[in-house]
């Protein structure tokens, strides 16, 4: 036999049809004039007439190819097509899990993901593993051998744009699947932002949560809905949370209620005096920066009216279950990492710059006319929004005005508190 570095079964006889599964096996080859060495390869299992299954062992059905370790797409030796077939098989045969997971797993079928393993004593090994799925909290990869739980690693997660993210993590499980095939679960030290690595399909939202913990939800929600039955259903679904729910039945009531501190807007699409998308756009113009969810039975209509162009706004489709509603709220109220939180704040700041300038002009006008009521109105709007924008200077000025203005009988008694707030608005909008 001519000398070669390894072998992989990459095809089957044309009359046998496509492979229905594959498994990793160890292949022993005798190099010419050298001792026997072990290599990794892949053996396909095929369906034969009469429901008989056999492993292909005949040389006539096997294509041998030269494999250099640096050229291997992953430790399984599988190319994109072979990996897709294996993952399809695993997905079709896996029984529904009984484990209640916090984070939802999404398909992440990367042919090769670089992983650096740190061994006891400090030595490291860098391997390319095949990807299976990804969640906010971890990743599942396929490997040709066993790895001890607790092993420290660093994974290079390929982003959709830009270079990879180095994600420190630990091995939390190593499950034997068949032959030498193992599925390894890694838990990230810090949660990742799924939007950096996965592309939503068909406008669908990349939900991070599979199961929600109601007791973790807290804050103030404004539910804008004219259907009393829908209002009661939402209140029932959220009964185990620590949320305070404010309700409004129309546009006018919503604008009044949103002037205070609001952490999330839950807005019906068909309101008696406005479309839900139009109301959210108006509230954005008034400086309300809280995340918004449009509740609709017709997502196409909402998207047709520019839903995705409104900053920090998504939708939830009716009818929805309690779990679906809780997960949607968790997505917006609990995720505050740099990836999601910083991006949201920057997006909202760009969208709100014009309104901040308007607020500054209104404060100047109130000071000129000694209009204390107007100054208080603008201050309350800023007090409820500055924190969401991540603007500490503006938040400090708004907090000071919120405390001092109610004690004044006229703005002339302390004009600086208003001029400072107006200056903070202009600085934030610059």
What's the 3-state SS for 200-261?
Answer: CCCCCCCCCECCCCHHHCEEEEEEECCCHHHHHHHHHHCCCCEEEEEEECCHHHHHHHCCCC
State the alpha helices, DSSP H only, in 248-298. Answer: 251-257, 276-285
Q: How far apart are CA 356 and CA 304, in angstroms?
A: 29
pLDDT computed for residue 208 by the predictor: 81
355 with 286, same domain: the answer is: no
Residue 43: burial class (beta carbons within 10 Å; 0-12, 13-18, 19+): middle
Tokens 């429901």 — which residue? 51
* Sequence-separated (6 or more) residues with CB below 8 Å from residue 202: none
321 with 418, same domain: the answer is: no
Which range has the worst mean pLDDT, 148-157, 191-200, 403-412? 191-200
Q: How far apart are CA 22 and CA 178, in angstroms?
A: 9
354 with 330, same domain: the answer is: no
pLDDT computed for residue 19 by the predictor: 39
Average pLDDT for 83-97: 86
- The phi and psi torsions of 84 (rounded to 5 degrees) equal -60, -40
Q: What is the pLDDT of residues 301-324, one digit of tens each?
A: 766 666 667 778 888 888 889 988
330 with 344, same domain: the answer is: no
Q: Which two tokens stand for residue 220?
A: 């103030």
221 with 144, same domain: the answer is: no
pLDDT computed for residue 120 by the predictor: 87
pLDDT computed for residue 304 by the predictor: 62
State in Å, rounded, how far the first CA of the chain is from the last one. 73
**Would you tell me how many other CB atoms lie within 10 Å of the CB of residue 369?**
11
List C-alpha distances in Å: 124 to 114, 115, 130, 326, 327.
13, 10, 19, 42, 39
pLDDT computed for residue 100 by the predictor: 67
294 with 365, same domain: the answer is: no
Contact 363, 422 (CB under 8 A): yes
Between 24 and 208, name the one with better pLDDT: 208
Sign of CA dihedral 119, 125, 127, 131: positive
pLDDT category of residue 248 using cuts at 50, 70 and 90: very high
Cα-trace Rg, the chain: 29
What count of Cα atoms within 13 Å lies in the side-chain half-sphere of residue 210? 14
Task: Please check the confidence at residue 234 and state whether its pLDDT lies above 90.
Answer: yes
Average pLDDT for 37-53: 37
Count: domains in the chain: 3
Which range has the worst mean pLDDT, 27-31, 235-239, 247-251, 389-393? 27-31
188 with 299, same domain: the answer is: no
pLDDT computed for residue 312 by the predictor: 80
> Looking at the domain assignment, is residue 2 inside a domain?
no
**Residue where a domain stops, chosen among 302, 334, 366:** 334
Domain that holds residue 308: 214-334
* Sequence-separated (6 or more) residues with CB below 8 Å from residue 369: none
Residue 99: burial class (beta carbons within 10 Å; 0-12, 13-18, 19+): exposed
Average pLDDT for 179-198: 92
> Looking at the domain assignment, is residue 299 inside a domain?
yes
**Residue where a domain stops, chosen among 283, 299, 334:** 334
Q: What is the pLDDT of residues 139-181, one digit of tens each?
A: 999 999 999 999 999 999 999 888 899 999 999 999 999 889 9
> Looking at the domain assignment, is residue 22 inside a domain?
no
Nearest to 185 by CA among 108, 120, 124: 108
What's the chain's average pLDDT?
78
**Residue where a domain stops, chosen among 310, 334, 358:** 334
Q: Is 35 helix (H, G, I), strand (E, B) or coil?
A: coil
171 with 220, same domain: the answer is: no
pLDDT category of residue 286 using cuts at 50, 70 and 90: confident
* Sequence-separated (6 or more) residues with CB below 8 Å from residue 136: 103, 104, 191, 192, 193, 194, 208, 335
366 with 258, same domain: the answer is: no
């Amino acid at each position: 036999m001519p000398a070669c570095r390894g072998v992989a079964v990459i095809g089957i006889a044309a009359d046998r049809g496509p492979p229905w599964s594959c498994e990793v096996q160890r292949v022993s080859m005798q190099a010419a004039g050298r001792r026997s060495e072990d290599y990794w390869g892949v053996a396909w299992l095929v369906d034969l007439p009469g429901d008989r299954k056999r492993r292909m062992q005949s040389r006539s059905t096997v294509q041998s190819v030269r494999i250099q370790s640096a050229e291997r797409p992953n430790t399984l030796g599988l190319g994109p097509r072979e990996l897709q077939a294996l993952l399809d098989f695993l997905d079709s045969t896996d029984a529904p899990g009984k484990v209640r997971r916090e984070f939802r797993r999404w398909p992440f079928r990367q042919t090769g993901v670089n992983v650096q393993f740190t061994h006891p004593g400090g030595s490291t090994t860098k391997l390319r593993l095949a990807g299976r799925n990804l969640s906010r909290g971890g990743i599942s990869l396929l490997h040709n051998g066993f790895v001890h739980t607790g092993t420290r690693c660093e994974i290079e997660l390929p982003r959709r744009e830009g270079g990879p993210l180095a994600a420190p993590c630990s091995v939390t499980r190593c499950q034997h699947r068949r032959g030498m095939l193992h599925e390894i679960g890694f838990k990230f030290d810090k949660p990742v932002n799924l939007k950096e690595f996965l592309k939503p399909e068909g406008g669908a939202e990349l939900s991070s949560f599979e199961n929600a913990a109601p007791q973790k939800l807290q804050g103030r929600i404004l539910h804008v809905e004219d259907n009393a039955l829908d209002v009661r259903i939402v209140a029932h679904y959220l009964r185990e949370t620590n949320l305070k729910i404010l309700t409004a039945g129309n546009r006018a009531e919503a604008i009044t209620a949103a002037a205070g501190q609001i952490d999330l807007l839950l807005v019906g699409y068909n309101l008696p005096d406005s479309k839900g998308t139009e109301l959210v756009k108006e509230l954005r113009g008034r400086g309300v920066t809280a995340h918004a969810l449009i509740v609709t039975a017709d997502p196409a209509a909402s998207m047709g009216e520019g839903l995705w162009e409104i900053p920090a706004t998504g939708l939830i489709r009716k009818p929805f279950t309690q779990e679906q509603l809780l997960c949607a709220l968790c997505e917006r109220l609990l995720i505050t990492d740099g990836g999601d939180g910083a991006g949201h704040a920057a997006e909202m700041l760009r969208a709100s710059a014009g309104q901040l300038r308007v607020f500054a002009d209104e404060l100047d006008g109130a000071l000129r006319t000694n209009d204390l009521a107007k100054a208080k109105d603008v201050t309350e709007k800023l007090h409820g929004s500055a924190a969401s924008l991540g603007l500490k200077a503006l938040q400090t000025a708004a907090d000071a005005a919120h405390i001092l203005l109610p004690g004044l009988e006229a703005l002339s008694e302390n004009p600086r508190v208003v001029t400072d707030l107006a200056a903070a608005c202009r600085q934030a909008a610059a």
